[in-house]
Structure 1
Amino acid sequence: MRKLIVIAGATAVGKTALCTELAAYFDTEVISADSRQFYKEMSIGTAKPTLEEMTFVSENNTPKTIKHHFIDSHSIQNPLSAGQFEKEALALIDNLFKTRNKKNDILILTGGSGLFIQAICDGFDEIPPISTAFREKLNQELEQKGLQSLVAELQEKDPEYAAEADLNNPQRVIRALEIIRSTGSNYSEFRKLNKKNREKSKQEREEKLGFETIKIILDRPREELYQRINQRVLTMIKNGLVEEVKGLQQYAHFSPLKTVGYQEIFELLDKQNEEKINLETAISNIQQNTRRFAKRQLTWFRKDTAYTWFDVSKPNYKKEIIAFIENLIN
């Protein structure tokens, strides 16, 4: 059966470089499941792969540019939900397998957005119908009291989900709270129940979709990962992050921009902000918030026992991953 190789992991762990090399080795293409790299307007702050990073150079110096899908595919003015991504990405995967027409073919899915990867591999949780009144009320509270008020409620009522959720994303926070308020039960409990149902139907889903998934997590020692994150943020600033965000100020209220790296610069640029911060503080805030985000990403992935973990700080990790994949596809 055809295989979808999932390469996941925290931000800055080294997914892009590995996927480019794997795609060259297996003669395949890469599908991005990074929920911010979809957007044309967001490049520097999302660490979007450059043409150079998407090009593999062989030992005899022959370059090969690897096709990456869902990079610059959408606009922030038309945000892509995880549900929409599931439909679009599955249609793309089906088309790629058909047009490539290779026996035992593989494709690579990569990113750090656990929800978007789950959408492809497992589908979505079944949640009971909820009155739109709950969402309308929460959106009013978001406008009147701000996101932190809703985050505090989520942390109090469902600390388990709050520990792994992207708390900078108002859509995720509101989704969890509308379930909590309407049902009286924790969102995390619904997810546990649906996980059992997904495990039962996994084989049926794979047969329906026509491919199996092989899940791989890239990991590094925490201090090494944090150093890479800190350096990446400095590189973003050097490459023009502040200028990129300046050009997006009129869209600051759009949901794709309510994310680490952009919110901190919006705060820096906000002339009406009473607690005015300088660039040094903004950089420090981005680094700290990105480290926290990486921690939540790893918490999410650890709950999925289907992943096989590889320490990419080891010298032979690429050979180990290639051997692992070849063993499963042959």
Structure 2
Amino acid sequence: MSQFKTLVVVAGPTAIGKTAAAIQLAGHYNTAILSADSRQFYKEMSIGTAKPTTDELAAAKHYFVDSISINDTYSVGDFEKQALELLDELFKTHDVVILAGGSGLFVKAVCEGFDELPAVPPIIRENLNRELEEKGIEHLQHKLKQADEEYYAEVDINNPQRLIRALEVYEYTGMPFSSYRKGSKNSRPFAIKKIGLNMPREQLYNRINQRVDAMVQQGLIDEAKGLYEYRHLNALNTVGYSELFDYFDGKSTLEHAIALIKQNTRRFAKRQLTWFRRDSDIKWVEAGSSTLLPDMLAAIEAQ
């Protein structure tokens, strides 16, 4: 593969407009988009994950949208392997390919790979899962904050699988999970240029609130009802669904559940920004600008 091949990353928090920005770039370069949104992989989850619309999917070829089932076991390592194999194919006919999404871990996997994490005895994970059942997710959140404040500040703390993965490594090795992510980057046979979409916080939060209201109007509650029996699966332990499952269980009112979805999505966006702002390679552009495409192209050229 030629070193002249380039992967352009479009990163940023939820609801900021990454899909629309990526489609503009894909149109300019006449190329395809790989999604790095770990929630949009799942075929059964559409409204609550704000998947690209039919028109958006028609505007540019998308990969890793509706690619797996909620019943499938799928790791960030699987994504790294599949994405690199796909890029190898796409770069045979394209000089530029777009990687767009807000899942920082999945973006990192494609761009850098990971340090080798230690194999942890299954009993440690089993014990942590038991703690989750008996004491709740807040207990694991507190444990992680005490053990690894750096990773706590970045991770989606409402995702129990992520919490347990970090805690099991810490409990087995005595070393914070974040310490295993400081090794050398794996070299890639293509150039990588990264753009981050930015927006004033109040404006972003308004967009998030409006998007949640739109999701409800589009049928989010019925979608969540149809997935209720699968609530034990990791894919469903996510903002937009878990709050509605609590409502179905009689633990909250619908009004409160919707307010919580907005609040938890805003918190998630804040964590995404924390993650991406640590990456000094990202060049930031204003998402709401009327000159977004030329701004992005200038940021790419400047790298």
For Structure 1 versus Structure 2, the TM-score category normalised by the shorter chain is over 0.9
1:131 partnered with 2:121: yes
Q: Distance in 2 between matches of 1:175 and 1:18?
A: 33
| C-alpha contact 1:79 1:255 (8 A) present in aligned 2 | no
Q: 1:180 aligns with which of 170, 174, 186?
A: 170
| C-alpha contact 1:79 1:256 (8 A) present in aligned 2 | no
Q: Give 3-state SS (helix, strand or coil) of 1:37's partner.
A: coil
Counterpart in the other structure of 2:73: 79
Post-superposition offset of 1:48: 0.5
1:126-165 superposed matches below 5 A: 126-165=116-155
Question: Once superposed, which parts of structure 1, at least 4 consecutive aligned residues long, lie more than 3 Å away?
Answer: none
Post-superposition offset of 1:221: 0.5
Bigger shift: residues 141-150 or 108-117: 141-150
Q: 2:258 aligns with which of 279, 283, 289?
A: 283
Larger Rg: 1
Residue identity opposite 1:240 in structure 2 = G
Q: Which runs of no fewer than 5 residues in structure 1 stay unpaired?
A: 56-64
Q: Distance in 2 between matches of 1:116 and 1:263?
A: 22
1:31 partnered with 2:34: yes
Counterpart in the other structure of 2:107: 117
Counterpart in the other structure of 1:15: 18
Q: Give 3-state SS (helix, strand or coil) of 1:260's partner.
A: coil
What whole-Å deviation, never above 9, does each CA across 1:3-30 have from its counterpart, x for those lacking one? 0000000000111111111101110000
What whole-Å deviation, never above 9, does each CA across 1:94-128 have from its counterpart, x for those lacking one? 11122x2x5xx000000000000111000012223
1:70 partnered with 2:64: yes
- Percent identity over the alignment is 52
TM-score by length of 2: 0.95
Q: Distance in 2 between matches of 1:33 and 1:168?
A: 19
Post-superposition offset of 1:76: 0.2
| C-alpha contact 1:221 1:313 (8 A) present in aligned 2 | no
What whole-Å deviation, never above 9, does each CA across 1:275-327 have from its counterpart, x for those lacking one? x3211111110000000000000111111111111112333232111233356
Q: 1:6 aligns with which of 5, 9, 29?
A: 9
What whole-Å deviation, never above 9, does each CA across 1:146-175 have from its counterpart, x for those lacking one? 222111111122222111111111111011
Q: Distance in 2 between matches of 1:53 and 1:291?
A: 24
Residue identity opposite 2:203 in structure 1 = E
1:1-330 superposed matches below 5 A: 1-55=4-58, 65-98=59-92, 100=93, 102=94, 105-191=95-181, 193-194=182-183, 197-198=184-185, 202=186, 205-206=187-188, 210-271=189-250, 276-326=251-301
TM-score by length of 1: 0.87
Bigger shift: residues 182-191 or 296-305: 182-191
Residue identity opposite 1:43 in structure 2 = S
Residue identity opposite 1:217 in structure 2 = G
**Number of residues of Structure 1 aligned to a counterpart in Structure 2:** 300
Bigger shift: residues 306-315 or 123-132: 123-132
Q: Which runs of no fewer than 5 residues in structure 2 stay unpaired?
A: none
Root-mean-square deviation (Å): 1.5
Q: Distance in 2 between matches of 1:187 and 1:90?
A: 25
Assess, with a 3 A threshold, how the Cα gap between structure 1 residues 69 and 77 changes in structure 2: closer, same or farther.
same
Residue identity opposite 1:280 in structure 2 = E
Q: Distance in 2 between matches of 1:324 and 1:157?
A: 38
Q: Give 3-state SS (helix, strand or coil) of 2:124's partner.
A: helix
Counterpart in the other structure of 1:58: none
